[in-house]
A and B are shown apart, each in its own frame.
Chain A
Amino acid sequence: MSASRQAFDYRQSPFPIPREKSDAYRAAWRYIASPGNWWTGSERLAIARTARAAENCSLCDRRAAALSPLAVSGAHDPAESQDLLADEVVDTIHRICTDSARLTGSRVAELINDNFSYGHYVEMLSVVVTVVSIDSFHQVLGLPVPLLPEPLDGIPDNYLPAGAAIDVAWVPMIYPENLTETEADIYFGAPRMGNVIRAMSLIPDAVRMLHTLSAAQYLPTPQVMDMGATGSLTLQRPQTELLAARTSALNDCFY
Chain B
Amino acid sequence: MMLRGSIEQRGEAVELRTIIAGADIDSGIKGSAVLVGLVEAALQNPAELASARAALVDVLGVPALVDAAGVIGNFQRMVRIADATGIPVDTATAAVTADIREELGLNAFVSARLET
Show the binding face of A for B, using Cβ within 8 Å: 15-18, 21, 96-97, 100-103, 105, 108, 122, 125, 128-130, 132-142, 168-171, 173, 194-196, 198-200, 210, 213-214, 216-218, 224, 227-228, 233-255
Contacts and interface: CB of A to CB of B under 8 A. Distances in A.
Interface residue SS majority, chain B? helix
A242 B32 contact: yes
Contacts of A128: 80
B82 A253 contact: yes
B69 A248 contact: no
Given A140-B73, A169-B88, A239-B30, A196 B81 contact: yes
Contacts, number: 251
Size bracket, chain B contacts: 35 or more
Given A129-B78, A214-B74, 12 more contacts: A18-B66, A129-B80, A133-B73, A133-B76, A136-B73, A168-B87, A217-B73, A233-B67, A240-B6, A241-B5, A245-B1, A248-B75
Interface of B: 1-3, 5-10, 12, 14, 18-20, 22, 27, 29-32, 35-36, 38-40, 42-44, 46, 49-50, 53, 60-90, 93, 101, 106-107, 109-113, 115-116
Given A194-B90, A242-B18, A100 B75 contact: no
Contact of B68 (A140, A213, A250): A140
Given A142-B50, A168-B88, A250-B44, A239 B29 contact: yes
